[in-house]
Chains A and B, each alone.
Chain A
Amino acid sequence: MTIRPNALPTQEMTINMGPQHPSTHGVLRVILTTDGEVVTRAVPDIGYLHRGLEKIGERVTYAQFMPFTDRLDYLASMNCNCAWAWAVEKLAKIEVPERAEFLRVIVCELNRISSHLIAFGSYTADMGAFTPFLYGIREREKINDLFEMLCGARLTYNYARVGGVSGDAPPGFLEKTVEFLDYFAPKIEEYNELISYNKIFVHRLANVATVTAAEAVAYGLTGPSLRGSGVPFDLRKDEPYSVYPKFDFKVCVGTGERGTLGDCFDRYMVRINEMRESIRIIRQAVARIPDGPVLAKVPRVFKPPVGEVYFRSECPRGETGIYLVSDGTTNPFRLKIRTGSFVTMNIFEKVTRGLMIADIVAVIGSFDIILPEIDR
């Protein structure tokens, strides 16, 4: 859009896309400077959901911090639980029983599916198609039922423990999981037919906010946002942890199929494809899960050795890294959590220059940020 010189003098508007907004995926405030419909600058303002989780971590013990990791990214609660457990186990060199690791992988992948369902549903709802959101929620309720059977909660699971998991799978859980996968796999095709390849939806997403591979790496993007730009980096394959080396799955990468490589549509399709890969992983895990205990012997008064550790795991929104410093007492000395959504906000200002206001919503949805992760 060119502005002719010597045309009528116009003024730029400063609009506040406030903390209360239906499409900002939480309490995100974006200060837009626009020239009519075209955004010249979009500055995000975060911190409305800061709860001091890292400071709380210094006050409670390692086992007591587990419920707080639930609230770190409440849509991928199992992933955050397991990340904390793996970090502490790496620090204290605890050996986790194999059945517990398999259970952790199953619940992490199920939670990845349910998190991507919300990402998909809320994204299409932001774009104006209200129906796929409810279909996604219906599928997610079934996953929640599985988790309720397993650990007793539907959102903040608190399932992993330092040394294993809190409880073994009740009888019927694994069968019901496979039943759910059989029910869910054709639904992804239905979503693709209903909305993913719809011409209007494709036009809203294609060629919007293109992030090249070099830019993505330079700005520190991780997870589906990075893979959408064509970089095949997945922590489960490149720095495998837990029992992920035993499973056979593909790393989903954006292909630029409907626009340029690295636009919003690629990031969206990476999430849809990742749901399919998660289904594959869960099927393999359920087939191969060994018998055995689910919790290692960890002393009640748990004092890990002095030292520091950085552990990173692949959460649905990117890499969740936990930097843990221990001084030999029952409470952590310092813990710092690096989340994918927080680092993604780096690129927000650059990528939104020259877009329209309607595209800001598309960008926020394509990066799939969530505010508790950003603000902790």
Chain B
Amino acid sequence: MGLKDYMNNIVEAVVTTAKGMRITARYGVDPKEEVTLQYPEERWEIPERYRGFLHNDIKKCTACTMCVKVCPVDCISLESVRGADKKMVLAFYDINIGRCMYCGLCVEACPVKSLKHTSGYEKASEVRGELILHFIEEDAAEIKARVARQVAEAAAKAAEAAKAAEAAKPAPLPSEAAKAAVVDPKPAKAEAAKGETKE
């Protein structure tokens, strides 16, 4: 290495160091360059689409189980029973936000838009059980018992009404009774098939 290269090395080292130090000095001296957000006193403004904790509006939820099926990590669990008015009634609806990966697929899949992301992100806890959100406060067994009672009552009322209607109707002619017996089998099969798909 000749003398020229030697001196060039020294000069280049000094010049590049000085340039770098000028930049860091500017940052060191300029108070506007602090970008720290002092959490928890200052908080970031959460944008609208933020995928925070999930919240299900139970009044709108129809228990269609789309969210359960589409979740990649199986963190939503629900159970529902068919009520007296033929609509599903939720017995329990739990979301395990410890397992949830906040991907948003369930929110996209919900057809009635009852399941939504909130802007919550602070729920650190020391007990894992606290991370399971229960959206139905009532005990599941009680709900099921109540719905079963309602269904039984409705069925009893319907049976009584049917019996009353039967009693009030005049006796059919023998030819009409024979025609009804022939037509009968198909509706019965259709009823059986519908009953299976409802499971």
Contact flag (A, B; Cβ within 8 A): yes
Residues on A facing B (Cβ under 8 Å): 60, 63-68, 70, 131, 138, 141, 148-153, 156, 158, 166-167, 170, 190, 193-195, 197-200
User: Is B20 touching A194 in the complex (CB atoms < 8 A)?
Assistant: yes
User: Is B48 touching A170 in the complex (CB atoms < 8 A)?
Assistant: yes
Q: A148-B50, A151-B49 are in contact. Are A67 and B24 (CB under 8 A)?
A: no
User: Is B17 touching A166 in the complex (CB atoms < 8 A)?
Assistant: no
- 15 A-B residue contacts at CB 8 Å? A64-B105, A65-B72, A67-B72, A138-B35, A148-B47, A150-B49, A151-B49, A152-B50, A152-B117, A153-B50, A193-B19, A194-B20, A198-B20, A199-B17, A200-B17
Given contacts A67-B105, A193-B23, A199-B9, list 12 more A-B pairs with CB under 8 A: A60-B72, A63-B70, A64-B70, A65-B72, A70-B103, A131-B24, A151-B49, A153-B50, A170-B48, A198-B17, A199-B16, A200-B17
Which A residues are in CB contact (< 8 Å) with B108?
Answer: 166
Report the separation of the CA atoms of residues A287 and B108 in the bound assembly, to the nearest whole angstrom: 30
- Is B55 interfacial (CB-CB < 8 Å)? no
User: Is B23 touching A153 in the complex (CB atoms < 8 A)?
Assistant: no
Which A residues are in CB contact (< 8 Å) with B16?
Answer: 197-199
User: Is B49 touching A68 in the complex (CB atoms < 8 A)?
Assistant: no
Picked from A66, A195, A199, the residue with its CB within 8 Å of the CB of B103 is: A66
- Is B134 interfacial (CB-CB < 8 Å)? no
Which A residues are in CB contact (< 8 Å) with B49?
Answer: 148-152, 167, 170
- 6 closest A-B pairs by CB: A67-B103, A152-B51, A152-B49, A64-B72, A199-B13, A158-B103
Question: What is the total of A-B residue contacts with beta carbons within 8 Å?
Answer: 68
User: Is B35 touching A190 in the complex (CB atoms < 8 A)?
Assistant: no
Give residues of chain B (115-173) contacting chain A, Cβ–Cβ below 8 Å.
117
- Is B101 interfacial (CB-CB < 8 Å)? yes
Picked from A64, A141, A166, A200, the residue with its CB within 8 Å of the CB of B104 is: A166
**Closest CB in chain A relative to B1 CB, distance in Å:** 14
Which of A141, A149, A199 has the most CB atoms of chain B within a 10 A radius of its CB? A199
- Is B12 interfacial (CB-CB < 8 Å)? yes
Which A residues are in CB contact (< 8 Å) with B101?
Answer: 67, 156
In the complex, per-residue mask of B46-64: 1 if CB is within 8 Å of any chain A CB, else 0 = 0111110000000000000
User: Is B24 touching A199 in the complex (CB atoms < 8 A)?
Assistant: no
Number of interface residues of B (CB under 8 A): 26
- Is B102 interfacial (CB-CB < 8 Å)? yes
Which A residues are in CB contact (< 8 Å) with B71?
Answer: 64
Q: A152-B49, A153-B102, A199-B13 are in contact. Are A194 and B23 (CB under 8 A)?
A: yes
Which of A60, A65, A67, A131 has the most CB atoms of chain B within a 10 A radius of its CB? A67
Across the two chains, which residue of chain A brings its CB closest to B117? A152
Across the two chains, which residue of chain B brings its CB closest to A191? B23
Report the separation of the CA atoms of residues A170 and B51 in the bound assembly, to the nearest whole angstrom: 15
User: Is B47 touching A149 in the complex (CB atoms < 8 A)?
Assistant: yes
User: Is B19 touching A194 in the complex (CB atoms < 8 A)?
Assistant: yes
Q: A152-B47, A190-B23, A193-B19 are in contact. Are A199 and B102 (CB under 8 A)?
A: no
Which B residues are in CB contact (< 8 Å) with A131?
Answer: 24, 27
**Closest CB in chain B relative to A353 CB, distance in Å:** 26
Across the two chains, which residue of chain A brings its CB closest to B19? A193
Report the separation of the CA atoms of residues A141 and B51 in the bound assembly, to the nearest whole angstrom: 17
Picked from B24, B72, B104, the residue with its CB within 8 Å of the CB of A152 is: B104
**Closest CB in chain B relative to A12 CB, distance in Å:** 32
Report the separation of the CA atoms of residues A315 and B9 in the bound assembly, to the nearest whole angstrom: 38
Which A residues are in CB contact (< 8 Å) with B70?
Answer: 63-64
Which B residues are in CB contact (< 8 Å) with A158?
Answer: 103-105
Q: A149-B49, A193-B19 are in contact. Are A199 and B12 (CB under 8 A)?
A: yes
Which of A66, A68, A141, A153 has the most CB atoms of chain B within a 10 A radius of its CB? A153
Which A residues are in CB contact (< 8 Å) with B51?
Answer: 151-153
**Closest CB in chain A relative to B12 CB, distance in Å:** 5
User: Is A200 touching B23 in the complex (CB atoms < 8 A)?
Assistant: no
**Closest CB in chain A relative to B23 CB, distance in Å:** 5
Report the separation of the CA atoms of residues A190 and B35 in the bound assembly, to the nearest whole angstrom: 18
Report the separation of the CA atoms of residues A198 and B108 in the bound assembly, to the nearest whole angstrom: 50
Which B residues are in CB contact (< 8 Å) with A66?
Answer: 103, 105
Which A residues are in CB contact (< 8 Å) with B20?
Answer: 193-195, 198
**Closest CB in chain B relative to A31 CB, distance in Å:** 34
**Closest CB in chain B relative to A105 CB, distance in Å:** 20
Which A residues are in CB contact (< 8 Å) with B27?
Answer: 131
Give residues of chain B (1-55) contacting chain A, Cβ–Cβ below 8 Å.
9, 12-13, 16-17, 19-20, 23-24, 27, 35, 47-51
Which A residues are in CB contact (< 8 Å) with B19?
Answer: 193-194
Across the two chains, which residue of chain B brings its CB closest to A149? B47
Report the separation of the CA atoms of residues A150 and B48 in the bound assembly, to the nearest whole angstrom: 9
